[in-house]
């Protein structure tokens, strides 16, 4: 997936499901549930159980979705993720070597940053977008809005505190998209395999973000 196609996809769908699963089949069911609810961008965290196998399975089973990975902490993780077939890459931090490696491979990379200095550094190194994480720790949507004056040219994806209730607020503040994890997968729904309820969570989110 090229940077251009990634940006087009993100601007269209505006929401990313982030899955961190302790078992492969659980992660698979979580992904299938949100996909049936209309979410087409799915991130499998690299610290999920059997993440490479799960990514490969989902690439096959959900051809209409973009399947990527996140929580990549070093170059070894990044190379492994690329070899697995991940279509986009998220990191929780800014690492110039990781960014430049992804750029050389023409794979979208979205590093995590928090301060304006980190955000600009990531962008100048070649980041496709910048993940603002953990956004709730620094003011939530108001922080995204305050960045728009000097940094409005940088596409931002806030995570870490985005909920169904405030997702639209982040987009109205200037975010290009939002990433949600636990909010899409309430513990009671996952523990009882209530995939229909999780699918409904996804439908609700997509209706909210596409009305913003």
What are 128-176's pLDDT values in tens digits? 999 999 999 899 999 999 999 999 999 999 999 999 999 999 999 999 9
34 pLDDT above the threshold of 70: yes
CA-closest candidate to residue 39, choices 186, 154, 181, 189: 181
* CA 26 to centroid of chain Cα atoms: 19
Please tell me the predicted confidence (pLDDT) of residue 170. Answer: 97
46 pLDDT above the threshold of 90: yes
CB 56 within 8 A of CB 82: no
User: Where does the pLDDT of residue 3 fall: very low under 50, low under 70, confident under 90, or very high at 90 and above?
Assistant: confident
Mean pLDDT of 107-116: 97
Please tell me the predicted confidence (pLDDT) of residue 166. Answer: 96
What residues does each domain of the chain span? 3-210
Mean pLDDT of 169-184: 96
Q: How far apart are CA 43 and CA 144, in angstroms?
A: 22
212 pLDDT above the threshold of 80: no
Please tell me the predicted confidence (pLDDT) of residue 27. Answer: 97
1 pLDDT above the threshold of 90: no
Mean pLDDT of 187-198: 96
Please tell me the predicted confidence (pLDDT) of residue 6. Answer: 93
Asked whether the CA dihedral 29, 33, 35, 41 is positive or negative, the reply is: negative
Q: How far apart are CA 182 and CA 78, in angstroms?
A: 24
Please tell me the predicted confidence (pLDDT) of residue 180. Answer: 97
Mean pLDDT of 97-125: 97
CB 13 within 8 A of CB 39: yes
211 pLDDT above the threshold of 80: no
72 pLDDT above the threshold of 60: yes
User: Where does the pLDDT of residue 102 fall: very low under 50, low under 70, confident under 90, or very high at 90 and above?
Assistant: very high
Q: What is the CATH number of domain 3-210?
A: 3.20.20.70
Q: Look at the block and give the residue holding tokens 């794979």.
A: 107
DSSP the chain: --HHHHHHHHHHH-EEEEE--SSHHHHHHHHHHHHHTT--EEEEETTSTTHHHHHHHHHHH-TTSEEEEE---SHHHHHHHHHHT-SSEE-SS--HHHHHHHHHTT--EE-EE-SHHHHHHHHHHT-SSEEETTGGGGTTHHHHHHHHHHHTTS-EEE-SS--TTTHHHHHHTT-S-EEESGGGS-HHHHHTT-HHHHHHHHHHHHHHHHT-
Residues in the chain: 212
């Amino acid at each position: 997936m090229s940077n251009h196609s990634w940006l087009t996809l993100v601007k269209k769908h505006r929401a990313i499901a982030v899955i961190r699963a302790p078992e492969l089949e659980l992660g698979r069911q979580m992904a299938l549930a949100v996909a049936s609810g209309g979410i087409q961008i799915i991130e499998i965290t690299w610290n999920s159980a059997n993440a490479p196998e799960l990514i490969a399975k989902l690439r096959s089973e959900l051809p209409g979705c973009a399947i990527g990975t996140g929580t990549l902490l070093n170059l070894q993780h990044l190379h492994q993720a690329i070899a697995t077939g991940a279509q986009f890459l998220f990191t929780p931090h800014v690492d110039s070597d990781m960014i430049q490696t992804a750029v050389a491979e023409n794979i979208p990379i979205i590093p995590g940053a928090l301060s304006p200095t980190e955000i600009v550094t990531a962008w100048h190194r070649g980041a496709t977008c910048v993940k603002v994480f953990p956004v709730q720790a620094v003011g939530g949507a108001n922080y995204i809005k305050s960045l728009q004056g000097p940094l409005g040219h940088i596409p931002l994806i806030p995570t870490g505190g985005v909920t169904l209730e405030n997702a639209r607020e982040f987009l109205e503040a200037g975010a290009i998209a939002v990433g949600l994890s636990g909010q899409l997968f309430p513990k009671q729904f996952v523990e009882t395999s209530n995939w229909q309820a999780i699918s409904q969570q996804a439908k609700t989110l997509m209706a909210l973000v596409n009305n913003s």
